[in-house]
Each structure stands twice: as structure tokens, then as C-alpha cells.
Amino acid sequence: MLLQGSKPDDMFSFRSPSFKQLSLDRDQLQGDDLIDLMLKEPRLIRRPIVKIGRKVYFGASADALADIINK
């Protein structure tokens, strides 16, 4: 599983137009709700998803990934 100890909201794209169209209250959503929404609508998953070693990064910018790789 990609979450590997991360919370579902780390992977969820709350700024996505798809989420805004749903008109849901972010504060009312639990982890299982977020997972169900991502399964139904993959555009709600933050991208890119990058796995380096055992760590998974969600929605990291190119600059942030370059810093991680160069460490």
C-alpha cells in the first residue's frame, strides 16, 4: 500500500477541482472517507507519487524531489 504509515489526507488532493465539485466539508471527512473518494475518483490523489527507498512522497515539487534525491 502506498500510504505506508502516512495519513490518507497526505495523499488526498484537497485543492483538486474534482474535490471542489463535490462540495464536501473537509473537516467532516475521516481517513476511510478519503480512501473511498480516491478509489472512486483517482484525480483526487495528489501527484506525483514518488517512492524513494522505503519513503513515499505525494505531490512533491520537482525542486523538493531534487533536494531529496541529492541528500
C-alpha dist (Å) from residue 66 to 14, 24, 50, 53: 24, 34, 12, 15
At residue 2 the predicted structure's pLDDT band, cuts being 50, 70 and 90, is low
Position with higher pLDDT, 51 vs 19: 19
Cell 475521516 -> residue? 30
Mean pLDDT on 7-17? 93
CATH of domain 8-69: 3.40.30.10
